[in-house]
Amino acid sequence: MKILVTGVKGQLGHDVVEECQKRGIEAIGVDVDEMDITDASKVEEVIKASNVDAVVHCAAWTAVDKAEDEVALCTKVNVEGTYNIAKVCKELDIKMMYFSTDYVFDGQGDQEWKEYDERHPLNVYGQTKCEGEIAVQKLLERYFIVRIAWVFGVNGNNFIKTMLRLGKERGAVSVVNDQIGSPTYTYDLAKLVVDMIQTDKYGIYHATNEGLCSWYEFACEIFKQAGLDVEVTPVDSSAFPAKAKRPSNSRMSKAELDKNGFNRLPSWQDALQRYLKLI
């Protein structure tokens, strides 16, 4: 099997290409310089020339707050860019995997979001990722939509790196305690992705590391495992008025992973332990 991976300079794309290489699967990694996904003719040219069996589409506009001010640009990347890729996958009849987010849900209540629940995004980024899902679903039959959340990987900035920096600089941090979800380690996710793309088990999946926490609990565990003495104060989201609204409940059902015989990811605490050894 031969795979084209978009967003190779990002957290997830980097790890997906590495995982393919480890398994002897040919993977071509591209980012904006080689294939700007908003350029339809370039997308067509690169995918056709690469002669692949699947596109694993990790590229995206991921700046959630900035998206509120840059609606057109974020839409261009996350919706049009995804559409451009899906269109070529359809023409060539190859598989496509698209990554989405817990932000397609509005975070009401305290139940797990099921894979086929109705989507109600709260912010621009979530809306564009939702429209990307719809574009993939409308155009293709051979697709995987994999929703992930609170992503961390070696290749990029994330909450863990920010906490470690702030903790060392200030010795004390305040962290929101009223958003509940599950972190996703791209190294663990990449293994699942490479398993999944080799199957015909198409559909929508949720794939975060196992276990739930608030951002506050996540921060406490980061400092504990890193052996740093940092005072962590739990606060409400209202203490950090951000441009983009975030869902408070990001509990995600893994029923589709179970039903289709895919292994769930390890616990987020275990993932964090392995991650901290690498950075």
Q: What positions carry a catalytic annotation?
A: 125
> For ligand NAP, which is the closer residue by CB, 58 or 192?
58
Q: Residue 210: enclosing H or E segment and its boundaries?
A: strand 209-210
> For ligand NAP, which is the closer residue by CB, 85 or 261?
85
3-class state of residue 5 by DSSP? strand
Cβ 220 to ligand NAP shortest distance, Å: 19
Quick count: other Cβ atoms within 10 Å of Cβ 80? 19
- Which of 84, 101, 209, 248 binds ligand NAP (CB under 6 A)? It is 101
Does 32 bind ligand NAP (CB under 6 A)? Our answer is yes
Does 224 bind ligand NAP (CB under 6 A)? Our answer is no
Cβ 156 to ligand NAP shortest distance, Å: 4
Does 134 bind ligand NAP (CB under 6 A)? Our answer is no
Distances (CA, A) of 267 to 93, 94, 101, 273, 277: 36, 33, 19, 10, 16
Does 4 bind ligand NAP (CB under 6 A)? Our answer is no
- What CA–CA distance (Å, rounded) separates 147 from 103? 9
Q: What is the largest CA-CA distance in the chain?
A: 56
Does 7 bind ligand NAP (CB under 6 A)? Our answer is yes
Does 12 bind ligand NAP (CB under 6 A)? Our answer is yes
At 186, the amino acid letter reads T
Cβ 229 to ligand NAP shortest distance, Å: 27
Indicate the pairing of strand 209-210 with strand 203-206: unpaired
Task: For the segment 113-132, give every residue that binds ligand NAP (CB under 6 A).
Answer: 129
> For ligand NAP, which is the closer residue by CB, 77 or 139?
77
What are the b/e assignments for 171-204, b being 16+ CB within 10 Å? eebebbbbbbbbbbbbbbbbbbbbebbeeeebeb
- Which of 16, 140, 149, 204 binds ligand NAP (CB under 6 A)? It is 149
Sign of the CA dihedral 74, 57, 116, 94? Answer: positive
Does 181 bind ligand NAP (CB under 6 A)? Our answer is no
3-class state of residue 30 by DSSP? strand
- Which of 113, 150, 216, 218 binds ligand NAP (CB under 6 A)? It is 150
- Which of 47, 54, 58, 207 binds ligand NAP (CB under 6 A)? It is 58
Q: List beta partners, residue 144.
A: 97, 203
Does 99 bind ligand NAP (CB under 6 A)? Our answer is yes
Residue with tokens 């040919």: 26
Binding site for ligand NAP (CB under 6 A): 7, 9-13, 31-32, 36-38, 58-62, 77, 81, 99, 101, 129, 148-151, 156
